[in-house]
């Protein structure tokens, strides 16, 4: 059974000192061959860590915790609660993690060049930098990418914002797919208040305005440790309603995957692992698909055929 993983990060994403692109490509290809993965989509991540100071002050964190409790979420992680009394230290930790995770588009493109077209680069852009937004966008397109990833949580940006329309115009014109993180993120972004921009409902306007733009809802809106499946029903409704909207199963629990597969058109579902962010081995994510109680040709569609068809691979 062939496999294409459309949701992969640099294996050294959380390390400050990362190996060269050539070494990373060799390591990824070795692991891919051992498991039987034909191709992967490798994501860049460009965000401004300093925005954490501007967006997440003590008052906002307190409101975020209060809002979570009002929504019935009572098991708040220690690192989040510390944000109220130890705001600077908590924000510093988040900033350091985001600085380490910073993966420029140039890096994933270089990694892909050592892969024989088996590692496909998905770019990223610091949209919060208004001064060089347009110039940077054209630089990224010249590099040659298969898609562009938005991170509404750590980039603090609403995907349906009108200021992003020029970006979507270019993506649709160039037939470059849009990947959007939906759901929450670790740390302070587990609070619903801080992952609201990653609610799939924000994608509806984009799908309406850009019917030829392929849009992938990463994590199907379900990514959350505090409330697993937080936006999954909204994502399901969106994927089923629009021909150009798809969803991946990256980093989702088996029960949530079963829930999605029963409710979403099988040709709209893509396999993604979020490797290595979850800390799980690749085969664990693949095994989740193989263990589904569905026909084998459906499993093959999720693991391979849908990606080939949607992205013309």
Whichever domain contains 99, its CATH number is 3.20.20.140
Range of the domain at 300: 3-311
**In the chain, how many domains are there?**
1
Kindly list the distances between the CA atom of residue 79 and the CA atoms of 86, 92, 186, 253, in Å, as whole numbers in the listed order.
9, 12, 10, 23
Rounded to a whole number of angstroms, the CA Rg of the chain reads 19
pLDDT of residue 1: 81
Q: pTM (2 decimals)?
A: 0.96
- Please say whether the beta carbons of 285 and 36 come within 8 A: no
Give 10-residue mean pLDDT values along the chain (313 residues): 96 96 98 97 96 93 95 90 94 96 97 97 82 78 95 96 92 97 96 96 97 98 94 98 98 97 98 94 95 98 98 96
Give 171's Cβ-side CA count (13 Å radius). Answer: 28
pLDDT of residue 210: 98
Token pair in block for residue 91:
């924000």
Neighbours of 117 (CB within 10 A): 9
pLDDT of residue 135: 81
pLDDT of residue 136: 85
CA 216 – CA 268 distance, rounded (Å): 9
pLDDT of residue 55: 92
pLDDT of residue 207: 98
pLDDT of residue 132: 61
pLDDT of residue 131: 56
Kindly list the distances between the CA atom of residue 179 and the CA atoms of 60, 174, 244, 292, in Å, as whole numbers in the listed order.
28, 15, 12, 25
pLDDT of residue 128: 62
Q: At what angle do helices 282-290 and 254-263 cross, to 10 degrees?
A: 40
């Amino acid at each position: 059974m062939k496999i294409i993983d459309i949701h992969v990060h640099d294996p050294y994403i959380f390390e400050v000192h990362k190996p060269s692109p050539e070494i990373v490509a060799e390591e990824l290809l070795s692991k891919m061959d051992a498991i039987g993965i034909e191709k992967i989509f490798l994501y860049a991540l460009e965000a401004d860590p300093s925005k954490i100071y501007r967006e997440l002050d003590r008052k906002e964190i307190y409101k975020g915790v209060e809002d979570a409790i009002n929504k019935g979420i009572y098991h708040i992680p220690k690192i989040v609660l510390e944000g109220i009394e130890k705001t600077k230290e908590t924000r510093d930790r988040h900033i350091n993690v985001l600085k380490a995770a910073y993966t420029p588009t140039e890096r994933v493109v270089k990694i892909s060049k050592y892969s024989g077209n088996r590692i496909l680069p998905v770019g990223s852009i610091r949209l919060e930098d208004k001064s060089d937004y347009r110039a940077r966008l054209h630089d990224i397109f010249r590099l040659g990418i298969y898609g562009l990833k938005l991170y509404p949580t750590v980039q603090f940006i609403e995907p349906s914002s009108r200021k992003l329309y020029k970006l979507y115009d270019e993506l649709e014109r160039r037939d470059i797919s849009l990947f959007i993180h939906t759901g929450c993120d670790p740390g302070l972004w587990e609070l619903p208040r801080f992952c609201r921009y990653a609610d799939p409902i924000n994608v509806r306007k984009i799908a309406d305005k850009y019917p030829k733009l392929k849009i992938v809802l990463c994590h199907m809106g379900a990514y959350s440790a505090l409330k697993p499946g937080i936006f999954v029903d909204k994502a399901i409704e969106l994927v089923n309603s629009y021909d150009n909207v798809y969803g991946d199963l990256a980093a989702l629990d088996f029960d949530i995957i079963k829930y999605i597969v029963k409710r979403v058109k099988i040709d709209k579902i893509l396999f993604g692992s979020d490797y290595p962010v979850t800390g799980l081995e690749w085969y664990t994510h693949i095994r989740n698909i193989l263990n589904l109680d569905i026909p084998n040709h459906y499993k093959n569609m999720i693991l391979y055929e849908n990606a080939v068809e949607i992205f013309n691979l």
